[in-house]
Copies of this chain bind each other. A is one copy, B any other.
Amino acid sequence: MLVDGQLFRTVWIPKGEENIVRIIDQRGLPFRFESVDLRTVDEVAVAIRDMWVRGAGCIEATAGYGMWLAACEAAETADFSTAFNRLAEVLRRTRPTAVNLSWALDRQLEVASGALGVSDKVAAVHSVAEEIADEDVAACRSIGEHGLHLFRDISEIKGGSPVNVLTHCNAGWLAFVDHGSATAPIYRAHDAGIPLHVWVGETRPRNQGARLTAWELGKHGVPHTVITDNAGGHLMRTGQVDLVITGTDRTTYTGDVVNKIGTYLKAVAANDCNIPFYVALPSSTFDWSAQDGLAEIPIEERSGNEVSCIEGLCDGEEIMVHLLPQGSPVANPAFDVTPARLVTGLITERGICKANEESILELFPEKKLS
């Protein structure tokens, strides 16, 4: 998407430079917009592990490109396969629970083993790295196309006055390679000239809404307003929200949506206010084995420091401040599960379906259990 008028992806191979993977370093956002060059697998591993990049699609693509650097490094050794496998494991250890990470690594291992000579292996891995990134972009673009209709319909009903959409956390292009999932229909509708406005929940504790979503919408020129997570319900009750779209970290094949903590509160309020609540996801985010989100998917409990401290800018410097009384304990569940019954629809790269097994499997018939 656009940053100050220039098109960016979150990760790419810069043209005309040798053996470099360039990423947007997300640690500094929204205060510093900087890209970083990664020249070794170890550097890629640090970037993934320490969350210079984050988000399923962005991690997946960075891992794909990292495997190209791995192939280049392995080509310098006496035994390509041994070195290549070892470097894949270096990357795999960075975020052990990221499904997309392992998927990209395994795909590259297979590609390399299928090519004959070392230089063919390197070329094949390079080509698949670009493919992985391009596929992510294509899936998100497709989500945007399908979601565009929702905006068109509401805009028509509203006679062209801005469509107010509320989102939570960052399921934006920064979490993918481009477009994003929840933001894809927003960017698509905005670029198509449909007047719209985005309510961005700040998304405590890590404030990805305020830090990342607000930043990327602003840079692309999309009208938006940051609100506390508490304010979403009031805006719905008072007719200021036409539509909610969020992303998801994992969605069961029955339509239960695991997403950033607080999503459920927005879904249950949207339901109470008769406001459509959509979840946008590339199909790689479906969990084809989980039937009951609440019962089967463990919710990560993250460090209490994320709640008790917050980072911000003071006199141009990024500093961390402490928010709580001394000795007050903290709990920090990172995700919640929104039951399928509260989800109006799922926006996937193949189209929009209802959040139930039948409708999901109609879009993805190859996943039907035989």
Q: Which of A215-259 contact B (CB under 8 A)?
A: 215, 218, 224-235, 237-238
Q: Do A323 and B328 form a contact, CB below 8 Å, given A230-B262, A237-B336?
A: no
Q: Is the CB of A227 within 8 A of B307?
A: yes
* Residues of chain B with a CB closer than 8 A to A311's CB: 321
Complex partner residue of A228 from B205, B314, B326, CB under 8 angstroms: B205
Interchain CA distance A237-B330 in the complex, whole Å:
19
Tell me if A183 is interfacial: C-beta within 8 Å of chain B. no
* Residues of chain B with a CB closer than 8 A to A225's CB: 328-331
* Residues of chain B with a CB closer than 8 A to A237's CB: 264, 294, 336-337
Q: Which of A305-338 contact B (CB under 8 A)?
A: 307-314, 319-333, 335-337
**What is the total number of copies of this protein in its complex?**
2
* Interface range for A: 35 or more
Tell me if A121 is interfacial: C-beta within 8 Å of chain B. no
Q: Chain A at the B interface: mostly helix, strand, loop or mixed?
A: mixed
Q: Do A265 and B233 form a contact, CB below 8 Å, given A238-B294, A321-B312, A325-B218?
A: yes
Tell me if A269 is interfacial: C-beta within 8 Å of chain B. yes
Q: Is the CB of B268 within 8 A of A226?
A: no
Q: Is the CB of B226 within 8 A of A204?
A: no
Tell me if A211 is interfacial: C-beta within 8 Å of chain B. yes
Tell me if A26 is interfacial: C-beta within 8 Å of chain B. no
Q: Is the CB of B319 within 8 A of A321?
A: yes
* Residues of chain B with a CB closer than 8 A to A195's CB: none
Q: Is the CB of B329 within 8 A of A234?
A: no
Top 10 nearest A-B pairs (CB, nearest first) are A312-B321, A230-B262, A30-B325, A234-B336, A233-B265, A215-B325, A204-B228, A214-B328, A233-B264, A313-B322
14 contacts between A and B (CB under 8 A): A29-B325, A202-B204, A202-B323, A203-B230, A204-B204, A205-B228, A211-B324, A224-B328, A226-B328, A230-B260, A233-B264, A233-B265, A237-B336, A312-B322
Binding site for B on A (CB under 8 A): 29-30, 199-200, 202-205, 207, 210-211, 214-215, 218, 224-235, 237-238, 260-262, 264-266, 268-269, 272, 294, 299, 307-314, 319-333, 335-337
